[in-house]
Amino acid sequence: MAIQENNEEIIEDCNLQLDKILRNLKMIEINCFLSGENDDFDVYLEIHAGAGGTESQDWADMLRRMYMKWFDKKKYKYEIISEHKGEEAGIKSSTLKANGDYLYGLMKAESGVHRLVRISPFDSGARRHTSFASVWVYPAVEDDIDIKIEEKDLRIDTYRSSGAGGQHVNTTDSAVRITHLPTKIVVQCQNERSQHKNKETCFKMLKARLYEHELQKREKENQKELSSKTDIGWGHQIRSYVLQPYQLVKDLRNNTENTNPESVLNGNIDQFIEEGIKNK
């Protein structure tokens, strides 16, 4: 009727309402997929630089920034639990804890190796470099979960925390690293001033990692007959971010593409999150 009457104001209002309805439908559709046992849990997000020194460490930092920007857009709360900076730039590794509705369900498909192709800002010859960083997402399980951890299976190390400087400078060996020897799982925390609190956080993270480890082992046993199943491991990149010679972000599992890498790296990753959920 508005079109027949050429009423631009009502047409514009109708378009806004339709966009709102479509967005709500999209959220309802996505929520239909979030029915897994742990999908409503908060998450720990680990990022590790691959081989390649400064180049890969800078890429790991870019990935962390991308996820933090996505958290900000979604109004999810997060904190950096541990961080190991690179010698020249970027980070060697970092762990974040994020809180939000159905966050593990939304993010679990982000686990894997992420590949960057670009002209390196650290190469005086302006050559193209390929860098890798791994992302690991696991659920922040509840404290009452029944995971038995034997003292003899642990190696606990303390070390000097490398904070941001100023009032955050840490002058004691308060940072804690725990290695679970049977599985080789390593967790670390340095964001608290107290060694006791860092150790407590480490045990929570370890419990969550062991829980996720058991879930993955069970999933592999249940689905090993599926030829399409890909292990989450080094060398199995799930997504490529190409900045040169052309611009493209492509998920290699479901062929989702975006020709605006800058937007993606600024946290606009909803299309990849949504397709990851559907394909999971």
**Average pLDDT, integer, range 22-48:** 85
Say yes or no to pLDDT of 76 above 90. yes
pLDDT at 259: 96
Cβ distance 175 to 192 under 8 Å? no
Between CA 269 and CA 243 the distance in angstroms is 16
Query: What tokens does 100 get?
Result: 């939000």
For the chain, what percent of residues have pLDDT higher than 70?
87
Question: What are the helix (H) ranges across 75-194?
Answer: 103-107
Query: How far, in Å, CA of 214 to CA of 220, rounded?
Result: 10
Average pLDDT of the chain?
A: 84
Confidence category of residue 98, pLDDT binned at 50, 70, 90: very high
Q: Which of 65, 67, 71 is nearest to 110 (CA)?
A: 67
List the structure tokens of 218. 């069970």
CB 206 within 8 A of CB 95: no
Q: In which element (H, E) is residue 207 found?
A: helix 195-223
The SS3 call for residue 133 is strand
C-alpha count within 13 angstroms, C-beta hemisphere, residue 166: 1
| Closest by Cα among 208, 273, 268, 263 to 238 | 273
Provide the 10 A C-beta neighbour count for residue 181: 11
Task: Answer whether residue 225 shows pLDDT above 70.
Answer: no
What is the 8-class DSSP label of residue 90? Answer: S
**Total length of the chain:** 280
Q: What is the pLDDT of residues 140-163, one digit of tens each?
A: 876 556 677 888 888 888 887 665
Check residue 114 and give its pLDDT. 95
Mean pLDDT for 6-34 is: 87
pLDDT, residue 145, reads: 60
Q: Please give the pLDDT value at position 151.
A: 82
- 172 confidence band (pLDDT: 50, 70, 90): low
Q: What is the pLDDT of residue 146?
A: 65
Which amino acid does the sequence have at 61? Answer: D
Residues β-bridged to residue 85: 91
Q: Is the pLDDT of residue 20 over 70?
A: yes
Helix axes 8-33, 270-279, angle to 10 degrees: 40
Q: Which of 4-18, 82-96, 170-184 has the least mean pLDDT?
A: 170-184
List the end-to-end C-alpha distance of the chain, in Å, as a whole number: 43
Task: Determine the Cα–Cα distance for residues 265 and 122; give it in Å rounded to an integer.
Answer: 19
Portion of the chain with pLDDT greater than 90, in percent: 40
Write the pLDDT tens digit of every residue in 227-265. Answer: 333 443 455 689 999 998 899 999 999 999 999 999 999
Mean pLDDT of 23-46: 85
Give the pLDDT score at 68. 97
State the pLDDT at residue 184: 86
Confidence of residue 219 (pLDDT cuts 50, 70, 90): low
Dig out the tokens for 92 from the structure. 């060697």
- Which pLDDT value is given to residue 227? 39
Contact 79, 96 (CB under 8 A): yes
231 versus 9: the higher-pLDDT residue is: 9
